[in-house]
A and B are shown apart, each in its own frame.
Chain A
Amino acid sequence: MLSIDNLQANVEDKNILKGLSLEIKPGEIHAIMGPNGSGKSTLGYVLSGREGYEVTGGTATLNGDNLFDLEADERAKKGLFLAFQYPVEIPGVSNMEFLKASVDTVREYQGKDALDTVSFMKLAREKCNAVNLDPHFLKRGVNEGFSGGEKKRNEIMQMMLLEPSLCILDETDSGLDIDALQVVADGVNACRDPNRSFIIVTHYQRLLDYIVPDKVHVLSDGKIIKSGGKELARELEKKGYSWIEKA
C-alpha cells in the first residue's frame, strides 16, 4: 500500500525529516507517536503535498505511484486522505458545495458513477449522522464557526464520503472530549477494510484503546527510532519518550 524509504524533508530550509522509512500493508493501522517537534505533522503534510514542504531525499509510493510526482489534488484522487489537525475555515463556500465538488472529482477519477444531487445529499446526511454531526452543518461555510470537535468530525465525515485507500489522521484526537473521541473512533473503525490502511498520528495512548493499531512507531528527530506492537503505546504512556531516546 504505502512504502516510504529514507524520506528527508525540509520546511523553510530546516531539515525536519531525516531518513524516515515505513512500510504499510493493505488493511493495516499504524500509529505514530512521538514528542513535540519530532516531525509527525510534517510527515502528513509531505505525503499529502503541501507547498513549502520540500522533499530533499527518499521516496514514497502509494499503490505503486510515486507520490512526489503528483500534485496534492492528484494524490487525493489516487486515494490519499489527510484528516487535518487544524482544518481551515472557508467562509462563503458551503460545506455541501465543497463536499460535492470533492466527491465528484474523486469519483470521476476513480471511474465510479457520478452521484446526482439527491443521492449525494442523502449520502452526506447519512455520513453526518454517523459522526453525530447535525446535517445543518452541510449548509454552513466549510468549518466556519465550527467548534474544535465539530471540525474533527467534519474531517472524519469527509473521509467516509471519499472512501480513500490511505487515511492519515493527524492528531484527530487532540482537543476532543471523551464522547467525541468515541464518535471519531467509531467512524474510523466503521471504515476499516482489508483494502484501506491508516496512519494515526497521536500523542496519547487513549485513542489507541478505541482504534487498535497493528503497529506503533516512535518518531523522534525526524526518524523512526522504535517500532512495536500495540503494547508499545502503553509502555510509552507509562515511561514517556525519554527512555527510548536515551537508549
Chain B
Amino acid sequence: MNISLQNSTAEFLNSGSSISESLTSTLEDYINSSESTPDWLKTLKLNSIKSLSDFSIPSRKMEHWKYNDISSVISNPLGLKKDSELAKQPSTVDLNKLNLPLMSSVLCVFIDGEYSEGLSNLRQQEGFEVTTFKDASETQIEEIKSSLVSAAQQKNLFIQINDSVSMNGLYLKIDANKKSVMPIYLIYLSTNDDSQLTNNQVVINCNQNSQSCIVEHFINLNNETEDSSQLACQQTILELGENSHCDHYRISTGSKNINKISRLLVKLAKDSNLSSFHFSEGAVLDKTDIDVWHQGSNSESKMTGIYLPSEKNQIDFHTCVEHQVPHCNSRETFRGIIADSSSATFNGKIHIFKDAQKSDAQLSNKNLLLTNQAQINTKPELEIYADDVVCAHGATIAKIDEKAVYYLKSRGISETQAKKMLSVGFINELLDEINQTELHKYLTDKVQSSLSNLK
C-alpha cells in the first residue's frame, strides 16, 4: 500500500494545500484491513485520522518547516507495509555485530517500527511491565489510551500520521517505588531499503517514587543504498509520576541516508525529575520535536543535546518546555558542530503559563560552524504570561577560534588535530553529563569519528 502526500513537485511548491480525502480514506482502509489489531486500538486510530483534516502539507512557508528540505519525503509515494507483512519479517539482524553499548541491560528491539520479541531480552527483571499495544491487558489499555489521547499536538503532520497509522506500539511501565538499577535500552532499527514509511509509538509510564534509566537509540542499518526517500516516524510519550526520577537518553547514529521525523513528549508530575540527553549525527532529515510539560509543581527537567551534522545532512530540534504550574525548574543546553555543507535548526521555546509563578527556566544553544557552507538557524523563544519568574535564553554561533588554533600549533599540534581538539572541547562538558559509563564511551567515540574528516 502506498500513500502519497503530493502528486507533483509543482503542487509542493504551491504549499499549504490541505490533506486530500483520498489520503484519509486510504489510511482508514489501512487500519480497517489490519487483522491483528484489536478493536480498541482501531477505534483510537480511526479517531486520530479525523484530526488529519486540521493539517496542511508542510511547506517552507510554515514556521515549523521553514528551514527543512523535505522534498525527498514529500515528492515520492511512500509504501506502508501491512502489519501482517511486518510481523513476518525475518530477523536476520545480529545485535552483537553492531558494537552497541549497554548490551547487558534490558533490551527492547524494534525492526522498522515493529517490536521484535526474538531480539529483545527482558533479563527476567522485576519491577516493570512491557507489552505491545496489541497484547495489552484491560488495565494497560486504559493507561495507553489515556497517554495517547493526552499527547495530541498540532504542529507536525508526520507525527499526526504516525499517531494515526502506528499500530506497532510498546507500553513500558516502571512500577511505583521501583529503584531500577539496570537501564532499559530501546533500539529502533531501520532495515528497509525502499521508499517505506515506518511507524512506532512507545508509551513509558514511570510511576511514583520510581527511579529509572531509559535509553532510546535509532540506528539505520541500511547505509549502502543511495535512496533517501525512506521515512521513519516515531513518537515516545514519557510520563513521570510523582517524585519519580528518570535518566533518559535519545540518540541517533548511522542514519545518514534516511529521513527521520520523531517526537518526544515528557509529562512531569509533582516533585518529579527528568534528565534527558539527546544526540544526533544527522540524516537526510533528522527532525525531532521535544515537548516537556511541567504539570506538577516542584518538578525539574534538565535537557542536554549534541548535534553533529556533516556532508549534506540536516538536523532539526524543535523543543518546547511548558511551565504549566508554579515552582518548576528547567534547564536546556544544546550544542552543535556543523560540518561540510550540512545544516541544523534549533528552535527552543520556553512557555510560562499564566499561573506558573516562581518558574525558573534557562535555555542555551551554542553552535560551531566548521565551514563556510555549513548552516545553522537558531531561534530561542520566550513566551511568558506570569510575572514572577526567572527566565534566561541565549544562542551563539561561532567559528573555530584561530588564536586558539595558533596556540595549539605553537606547541607542535597539527592544524587538523588542533581543530579536532577544539571541536571536541566545545561539547566535552555536555558529554560528561552522561552517567552511563558505556554510553559515555560509545558517544565519545562517535564524536571522535564524526570529526575525523576534519580538515
Contacts and interface: CB of A to CB of B under 8 A. Distances in A.
B415 interface: yes
Query: Which of B403, B411, B422 has the most C-beta atoms of chain A within 10 angstroms of its own C-beta?
Result: B411
Interface residues of A, number: 30
A76 interface: yes
Contacts of A202: none
A106 B409 CA distance: 11
A88 interface: yes
B70 interface: no
A72 B409 contact: yes
Interface residues of B, number: 24
B410 interface: yes
A87 B410 contact: no
B409 A101 contact: no
Interface of A: 48-51, 71-73, 75-77, 81-82, 84, 87-88, 90-93, 97-98, 101-102, 105-106, 109, 141-142, 158, 162
B409 A158 contact: no
Contact of B412 (A51, A87, A88, A102): A102
B421 interface: yes
Nearest to A73: B409
Contacts, number: 80
A92 B428 contact: yes
B409 A71 contact: yes
Given A51-B402, A84-B407, A73 B413 contact: yes
A106 B428 CA distance: 25
Contacts of A158: 411
B228 to A, nearest CB: 34
Contacts of A142: 407
A84 B410 CA distance: 10
B416 to A, nearest CB: 10
B426 A92 contact: yes
A230 to B, nearest CB: 29
A87 B409 contact: no
Contacts of B415: 71, 73
Contacts of A162: 411-412
A51 B410 CA distance: 11
Interface in B416-442: 417-418, 421-422, 424-429
A72 B408 CA distance: 9
A73 B401 CA distance: 17
